[in-house]
Structure 1
């Protein structure tokens, strides 16, 4: 296997958690020491950030495949940063888990143990769809294009009829 690497000298002491766009143009990364999130445009060699502003600390979750949105956590909240406008959309009191390739659908977990454990939000309309109302978890890249499919895992034995194995299973929730 051969590859082409193009090094970039980050001006940060502990660059971590990199996420790359599908076309390889954008790289989002976290400065682990300062807890800031930056975006590097490999086309023109520039880096922007911290995207969360100088008075906050943040943890990078994921860059959308098209490079348009960056999901990060700051305090108890999730933010979705729009690269073209430079604005942030706040999703309060939840932990962002993943974003679909287009940057429109955010998968998040809530700290409320009485409600759904995973929810999919349409960021354009603000509407939510329950992915799982049982304890469940998911990772980055868990949301398919257009938010149509979400993959997650759970040890709950009542998500689908007949699941009695008592082990963690993988599920796919299909919307519309």
Structure 2
């Protein structure tokens, strides 16, 4: 019997896959809705993991394990590590994960292109984002920040909502 997780199960945008976490075993599972649920956790049997997000097409799942974030490719069964970061979100295609580096002296949010391995700084100021923060093409990221110097002349002293666009 699987044990409920504090992270709710998620369904892919196309409705074909589900991802869920077994809280007691600290494992993440992905299955397709035809009933072919993975017998083994995506992170392997000897590691604990926390589910972050499933891509819209159900092909990629982002999870945290230890101090690292991983993007697991469901089709190939392989995972790309993004060391020393906390995964926040992934775009609907599964190509662009958004993460928060563990280094407090660096940027607070970074967008990675898994295909090229390049990173784009989303915010150098303290910022946060949710699981649906990255657009379908990975060009736009929405985030929130209380920093007063993201936009020149910002003097209202309140947290703001921002969208960073990459070309």
TM-score between the two structures when normalised by the length of structure 2: 0.96
Unaligned runs of 5+ in 1: 1-10
Partner Cα separation in structure 1 for residue 137 and residue 82 of structure 2: 19
Partner Cα separation in structure 1 for residue 147 and residue 56 of structure 2: 31
Unaligned runs of 5+ in 2: none
What does residue 64 of structure 2 align with? 73
1:14 to 2:4 alignment: yes
Please give the per-residue CA displacement for 1:6-49, whole angstroms capped at 9, x wherever unaligned.
xxxxx30224421211111111010011110001211x212113
What does residue 49 of structure 2 align with? 58
Please give the per-residue CA displacement for 1:97-135, whole angstroms capped at 9, x wherever unaligned.
000000000100012111100000000110000000000
What does residue 7 of structure 1 align with? none
Partner Cα separation in structure 2 for residue 174 and residue 54 of structure 1: 39
For residues 25-174 of structure 1, the aligned pairs below 5 Å read 25-42=16-33, 44-48=34-38, 49-174=40-165
- The count of corresponding residues between Structure 1 and Structure 2 is 165
TM-score between the two structures when normalised by the length of structure 1: 0.91
